[in-house]
Structure 1
Amino acid sequence: MESEQHTEERPGSAKDVRICQSRPVDVPALWKQIRERAGEIVEDEHGLRVLLDDVILSQNSLGAALATRLARKLTREDMTREELTPLLRGIFESDEELVESAARDICAIVERDAACDSPLQPLLFFKGFMAISTYRVSHHLWGQGRRDLALYFQSLASEVFAVDIHPAARIGCGILLDHATSFVVGETAIIEDNVSILHEVTLGGTGKITGDRHPIVRSGVLLGAGAKVLGRVELGEGAKIGAGSVVLADVEPHTTVAGVPAQVVGVSREDAPALEMDQQLFCRSMI
C-alpha cells in the first residue's frame, strides 16, 4: 500500500523502476551451502555450537533461519523472542519473495565483499545484511497496512544496527550494505537492484516538502562512505558517488561525481561500479 502523501512525484522520475528484477537465485542450493558450512564450523568452534544449532542446523529453510536470527537480534522487553519468532516466521512463510530477496542480498555480499568467505557469514555476523532484512520485514508490514508494527521494526533496526530505513522506501535486490553504520533512507526513496552502499550514507530530503522528496538510485550505482544525497535527485544507472560527497542534483548514468557540492569528475570505468566496488576516482575522461 502506497502512502497517500506521495502525490507530488516529479514527472517521469520513477518510471520503469527495476525492483527485484535481477537474476534469480537457487535458494535451496544456497541454503544447502549455508548448512554445510555451519556443520564444518561446529566441528572446530564448539563455542558457536548453540548459535549454529539454533539458527541453522535445527532449521529446515533459509526463511526459518533468517526469522530465528532476526528474532535473536531484535528481541527486547517490549517484544520477547517467544513473540518475535512466530511473527517473523509467519511473515517469511507468507511471502516467498522476501526469502528470495534475502538470498540475492547474500549472493551480492559474497560476490562483492572481499571480507566475506561464505554465504553463512552475512546471516550470522554482518549487520548490514540483517539491517536490510529487517527493513524488508517492515516494508512487508507497511504494505499490509500494519504501519505501527512496521515503524516498530524500523526503530528496532535503528537501535540495534544503527541503520534507519523508512518502511515505505522501495529497495530492490542484490543490495550490499557494507558496514552499514549510520545508513539513513527517507520515506520516498527508491533504490533499484544491484546497488552497493558504504557506511554513513544518507538518502534524505530537504526542507519540509511533502510528497516524493527523497532520491532515486538506479541499478549498478556505488555510493561511497559518507555520501549524502538530498532531495528528489536521480543517480543514473552505473553512477559512482565519491566518499564524503554531497549530491544535490541529478547524476547522469555512468558518471562519477565527488566533492561538496558534488561535481562531475569523469565517466565511470565500469558499467556497474557497484559490482566492482572500486571507489577510486581515477576515471577515463569524458568525450
Structure 2
Amino acid sequence: MNTEGSSGGGGEGGVTTTNTKGAQSMIPTFPLAESWVWAQIKAEAHRDAEEEPALASFLYATVLSHPSLVRSLAFHLANQLCSPTLLSTLLYDLFLHSFSSAPSLLSDTVADLLAARQRDPVCHSFSHCLLYFKGFLALQAHRAAHLLWAQGRRPLALVLQSRVADVFGVDIHPAARVGCGVLLDHATGIVVGETSIIGDNVSILHHVTLGGTGDRHPKIGDGVLVGAGATILGNVRVGEEAKVGAGAVVLIDVPPKTTAVGNPARFVGGTGSPVGHEDLPGLNLDHNLWSDYVI
C-alpha cells in the first residue's frame, strides 16, 4: 500500500480477472483503465435511460452530460453531500480540484470501482456503483477529505467527514489512510478512527469498527476481509490476507493468512499454531467456511 493514496497502477496492457459471478474479463491497467471504465459507465447509463425513461433526466445530469469520470463523480458527490448552508457548487469545485490535482486519487477511484464490480455479486454495472453504492461514494469523499487534511485544511476536511456520516452513515476520520481497490460492502455503520491504516484490496462489511483504546487504532494489511459487525480495537495489526469473522472482537494482532473469530477473537487452530489459508479473502469475500472452523 502507498499510504499517500497512489495505487501504483500498471502499464498499458491488461489483466484477466475473474469476478464473483465466475466470469472472466480483460480489464486494461491504469491509466487506460480510467477511459475504459468511463466508456463502460456511459454505455450503461445510455442503456438504463432507454430501458427506464423515468431515469433519463437523472442519468443525463449525473453521467451523460459530463465529459469525464472526474466531473461526473464530483457532480454526484456534491449533490449528495450538499446542505442548505453547504452549497453543491462549492462542493463540486472542491471535489473536482481534489481529484484533478492529485491523479493518484482518480486511480484509486478506478481501482475501487473495479473492486466493487468484481467482488460484489449484486454490483451488475460500474454505473450502479458510481451512482447508488454508498460505500463507494463515502470512500471517494474520504479520499478528498484526506487530501484536505494532509494540506492542513482540517476544518473543511472535518466538514466533509460530518456530511458523509450524516448522509451515508459511514464515519471515517479524514486522517485515516486507505489503500486502493477497497470495497465497503453495504457500508452502514462503518467507523474508522483517526490513526487507522487500511491496505490495498481490503473488503469491509457493514457495522465494522476500527476503534481506539489505549494506543489508538488498528492497521489492516493488504487483502484482508473483515466480516459484518466485527470490532477491531487498539493499535493492533491484522496481517495480509487474514480474515476477521462476522461479529468478532479483535484485541490482539492477527497473523497473515489467519482467521480470527469470536468474542474475544481467537485464531482458527489455536493461538499457538493457527491454521493458515491459501485463498485471497479480500478479493473473493469467502465467508462460507467460518461456521465450520474449530478453534
After TM superposition, is the score higher than 0.5?
yes
Quick one: which amino acid aligns to residue 236 of structure 1? G
Deviations 1:189-208 (A, max 9, x none): 0001000000000001014x
Alignment of 1:98-137 (within 5 A): 98-137=105-144
User: Any unmatched runs of 5+ in structure 1?
Assistant: 1-14
Give yes or no for the alignment of 1:226 onto 2:229. yes
* 2:267 corresponds to: 264
* 1:276 corresponds to: 284
Deviations 1:177-216 (A, max 9, x none): 0000010001000001000000000001014x5xxx2000
Give 1:100 shift: 1.1
* Selected match of 2:238 from 232, 235, 238: 235
* 2:249 corresponds to: 246
* Selected match of 1:35 from 29, 32, 42: 42
Q: What is the aligned-residue RMSD (CA, Å)? A: 2.0
Whether the 8 Å contact between 2:175 and 2:194 is mirrored in structure 1 is: yes
* 2:88 corresponds to: 81
* Selected match of 1:199 from 193, 206, 216: 206
* 1:145 corresponds to: 152
Q: Closer, same or farther in 2 for the Cα pair 1:34/1:268, shift >3 Å?
A: farther
Task: Considering Cα pairs closer than 8 Å and 6+ residues apart, tell me whether 1 or 2 has the greater RCO.
Answer: 1
How high is the sequence identity, in percent, across the aligned residues? 47
Separation in 2, partners of 1:58, 1:268? 50
User: Any unmatched runs of 5+ in structure 2?
Assistant: 11-28, 270-274
* 1:5 corresponds to: none
Give 1:271 shift: 3.4
* 1:184 corresponds to: 191
Give 1:144 shift: 0.9
3-state SS of paired residue (1:51): helix
3-state SS of paired residue (1:76): coil
Q: Closer, same or farther in 2 for the Cα pair 1:274/1:268, shift >3 Å?
A: farther
More displaced stretch, 170-179 vs 51-60: 51-60
Separation in 2, partners of 1:95, 1:283? 45
Deviations 1:31-81 (A, max 9, x none): 001011111111111111122111111111111110011011001012111
Give 1:27 shift: 0.5
TM-score (ref. length: structure 2): 0.86
Give 1:282 shift: 5.7
Give 1:94 shift: 1.4
Separation in 2, partners of 1:79, 1:115? 33
Q: Closer, same or farther in 2 for the Cα pair 1:18/1:94, shift >3 Å?
A: closer
Give 1:276 shift: 1.0
Q: Closer, same or farther in 2 for the Cα pair 1:22/1:261, shift >3 Å?
A: farther
Separation in 1, partners of 2:53, 2:162? 34
Separation in 2, partners of 1:216, 1:111? 25
3-state SS of paired residue (2:268): strand
* 2:22 corresponds to: none
* Selected match of 1:72 from 67, 73, 79: 79
TM-score (ref. length: structure 1): 0.88
* Selected match of 2:102 from 95, 98, 104: 95
Separation in 2, partners of 1:260, 1:222? 17
Give yes or no for the alignment of 1:166 onto 2:173. yes
* 2:25 corresponds to: none
3-state SS of paired residue (1:257): strand
Would you identify which runs of 4 or more consecutive aligned residues in structure 1 move more than 6 Å? Answer: 15-18, 283-286
Deviations 1:238-274 (A, max 9, x none): 1000000000000000000100000001435343201
Separation in 1, partners of 2:103, 2:59? 23
Give the count of matched residue pairs: 268
3-state SS of paired residue (1:193): coil
Q: Closer, same or farther in 2 for the Cα pair 1:22/1:251, shift >3 Å?
A: farther
Separation in 1, partners of 2:292, 2:119? 20
* 1:8 corresponds to: none
Give 1:16 shift: 8.5
